[in-house]
């Protein structure tokens, strides 16, 4: 009778099991419902997360005082990391490198246009909002910066669900999203510096940029040479589950290395997938990692939804209409700015709209920006809520829009174009 006590050692097993079971069932039922409505399943998971989250049913723990909050945050992180690993496994590295220059153009335009538009919108003062928390210049930079991120999780999941990961557009989006992550790190370090009151330094910015790029190259260069041999040794082992356990551990370690190198965990996860796609056991790994992704990935998408409290946008609350007006304008800027990135590439005959839409979701990345801004005292509660609206709206709007864009303009076979 192991751990027959429901709460042995202060850990509430029964509640953890209940929340996990309810989340997983809700995720699948909502995903199924949305898919039957012709929408991507991930949208159902996001909506189920909102319903079970802080705003409504309060099933999913999000509060800092709840002992289960860090547990679900860690499981959600495993979820996004396994998702990126799966996407990496299914990505053809050589084909992606061929679109490298184009992806860089998409990322740079997709970061620059929303930043400039967002900055100008706030700096010009047309919003008519008296923001007294910090200086207008700092606030304008922060508003612009908060619009630059791209959450590859949402887009990657939609591309995967629609089975178009091998299209040219998918490679462009994924490549650009990885580069966007690198740029996002640079921007975040700058705005965090602003928040902390430290001076801007070109040297510091270049260092972060260099480390992130160097990590990706070194990891891929060493990994592609070492991993196939290392995983070849596993064929000689006899204990059960060796392959999936070592693949999973390899994924975790590359995430940690990425983080230690000063870049994002999920860049490590994507690199791990790219590397292991070159091993002999590639298809076995893919098959065995799938049930693990099935369990963990919904936790990630539901956690994004769970953090949302839609009541802050209630137009009947005092000032609520202003939050909605600012949020709506920023949302338009956010979408238009990323759509522009689809036109950053000079090629003809490819689905520009799909690429632009695919770069649009801010997801959990935008949440981090908004949270830091609020904590640092750069954003007022109202401006924070407006940016939150942008994050949620771009995230919720992307799955159906991307699916629509991909269906209208047929995706091209990746090997046919550039």
Q: Within positions 280 to 299, which residues make up the interface with a second copy, using CB under 8 A?
A: 288-295, 298
Say whether residue 58 binds a second copy (CB under 8 A). Answer: no
Query: What is the token pair recorded at 93?
Result: 């590295």
**Contact region for a second copy (CB under 8 A) — 105-113, 131-139, 145-153, 351-359?**
145-153
Site string for a second copy, 70-109 (x = CB under 8 A): xx-xx--x--xx----------------------------
Instruction: Measure the CA angle with vertex 329, ends 324 and 331; round to 5°.
Output: 90
**Contact region for a second copy (CB under 8 A) — 89-97, 214-222, 259-267, 271-279?**
259-267
Say whether residue 233 binds a second copy (CB under 8 A). Answer: no
- Minimum separation from the CB atom of position 252 to a second copy (A): 4
**Interface with a second copy: number of residues (CB under 8 A):** 82
Name the 3-class secondary structure at 349: coil
Say whether residue 67 binds a second copy (CB under 8 A). Answer: yes
With CB under 8 A as the contact rule, the residue among 209, 336, 368, 412 that binds a second copy is 368
What DSSP letter does each residue of 230-267 carry, written as one string? Answer: HHHHHTT--STTHHHHHHHHHHHHHHHHHHHTTS-HHH
With CB under 8 A as the contact rule, the residue among 119, 215, 246, 313 that binds a second copy is 246
What's the CA gap between 14 and 11, in Å, rounded?
A: 9
With CB under 8 A as the contact rule, the residue among 25, 97, 101, 206 that binds a second copy is 25
For 167, phi then psi, to 5°, come to -80, 160
Say whether residue 28 binds a second copy (CB under 8 A). Answer: yes
Query: What is the token pair recorded at 279?
Result: 């091993």
- Minimum separation from the CB atom of position 80 to a second copy (A): 5
Question: In terms of Cα–Cα distance, which of 63, 47, 55, 62 is closest to 385?
Answer: 55
Say whether residue 252 binds a second copy (CB under 8 A). Answer: yes
**Contact region for a second copy (CB under 8 A) — 22-30, 51-59, 104-112, 164-172?**
22-30
Residue 28 vs 166, nearer CB to a second copy = 28
**Contact region for a second copy (CB under 8 A) — 91-99, 167-175, 216-224, 253-261?**
253-261
Say whether residue 335 binds a second copy (CB under 8 A). Answer: no
8 Å CB contact between 383 and 194? no
Place of tokens 């007006």: 325
Q: How far apart are the first and last CA of the chain?
A: 62
Question: In terms of Cα–Cα distance, which of 91, 111, 83, 270 is closest to 186?
Answer: 111
What's the CA gap between 342 and 360, in Å, rounded?
A: 11
Residue 77 vs 169, nearer CB to a second copy = 77
- Minimum separation from the CB atom of position 199 to a second copy (A): 21
Query: What is the token pair recorded at 319?
Result: 């000032």
Question: In terms of Cα–Cα distance, which of 327, 334, 332, 311 is closest to 389?
Answer: 327
Give the containing element (helix H, strand E) for 386.
helix 381-408
What DSSP letter does each residue of 393-415 carry, written as one string? Answer: HHHHHHHHHHHHHHHHSPPPBTT
Say whether residue 207 binds a second copy (CB under 8 A). Answer: no
With CB under 8 A as the contact rule, the residue among 63, 240, 346, 348 that binds a second copy is 240
What DSSP letter does each residue of 24-38 carry, written as one string? Answer: HHHHHHHHHHHHHTT
Say whether residue 41 binds a second copy (CB under 8 A). Answer: yes
| Alpha-carbon separation of residue 31 from 24, 133, 398 (angstroms) | 10, 41, 15
Residue 62 vs 326, nearer CB to a second copy = 62
Residue 199 DSSP code: P
Which residues from 337-356 bind a second copy, rule CB under 8 A? none
Say whether residue 359 binds a second copy (CB under 8 A). Answer: no
With CB under 8 A as the contact rule, the residue among 93, 220, 244, 397 that binds a second copy is 244
Site string for a second copy, 175-194 (x = CB under 8 A): -----xxx-xx--x------
Say whether residue 126 binds a second copy (CB under 8 A). Answer: no
- Minimum separation from the CB atom of position 182 to a second copy (A): 8
Say whether residue 239 binds a second copy (CB under 8 A). Answer: yes
What's the CA gap between 142 and 33, in Å, rounded?
A: 38
């Amino acid at each position: 009778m192991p751990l027959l006590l429901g709460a042995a050692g202060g850990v509430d097993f029964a509640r953890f099991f209940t929340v996990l079971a309810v989340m997983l069932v809700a995720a699948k039922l909502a995903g199924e419902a949305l898919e039957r409505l012709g929408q991507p399943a991930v949208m159902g998971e996001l909506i189920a997360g909102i319903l079970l989250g802080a705003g409504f049913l309060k099933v999913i723990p999000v509060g800092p005082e709840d002992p289960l909050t860090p547990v679900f945050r860690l499981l959600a992180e495993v979820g996004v990391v396994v998702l990126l690993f799966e996407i990496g496994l299914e990505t053809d590295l050589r084909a992606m490198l061929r679109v490298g220059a184009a992806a860089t153009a998409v990322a740079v335009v997709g970061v620059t246009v929303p930043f400039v538009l967002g900055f100008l919108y706030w700096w010009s003062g047309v919003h008519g909002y008296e923001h007294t928390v910090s200086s207008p210049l700092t606030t304008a930079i922060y508003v612009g910066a908060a619009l630059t991120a791209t959450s590859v999780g949402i887009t990657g999941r939609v591309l995967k669900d629609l089975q178009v990961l091998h299209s040219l557009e998918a490679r462009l989006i994924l490549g650009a999203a990885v580069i966007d992550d690198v740029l996002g790190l640079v921007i975040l370090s700058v705005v965090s510096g602003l928040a902390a009151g430290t001076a801007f330094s070109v040297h510091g910015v270049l260092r972060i940029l260099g480390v992130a790029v160097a990590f990706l190259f070194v990891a891929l260069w060493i990994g592609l040479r070492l991993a196939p041999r290392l995983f070849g040794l596993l064929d000689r082992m006899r204990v059960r589950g060796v392959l999936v356990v070592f693949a999973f551990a390899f994924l975790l370690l590359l995430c940690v290395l990425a983080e230690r190198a000063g870049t994002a965990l999920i860049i490590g996860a994507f690199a791990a997938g790219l590397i292991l796609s070159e091993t002999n056991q590639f298809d076995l790994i893919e098959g065995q990692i799938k049930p693990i992704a099935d369990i963990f990935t919904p936790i990630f998408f539901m956690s994004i939804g769970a953090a949302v409290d839609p009541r802050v946008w209630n137009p009947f609350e005092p000032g609520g209409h202003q939050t909605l007006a600012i949020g709506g304008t920023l949302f338009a800027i956010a979408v238009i700015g990323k759509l522009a990135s689809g036109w950053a590439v000079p090629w003809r005959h490819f689905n520009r709209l799909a690429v632009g839409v695919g770069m649009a979701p801010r997801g959990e990345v935008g949440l981090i920006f908004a949270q830091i801004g609020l904590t640092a005292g750069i954003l007022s509660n109202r401006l924070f809520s407006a940016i939150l609206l942008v994050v949620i709206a771009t995230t919720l709007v992307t799955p159906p829009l991307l699916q629509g864009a991909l269906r209208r303009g047929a995706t091209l076979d990746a090997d046919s174009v550039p």
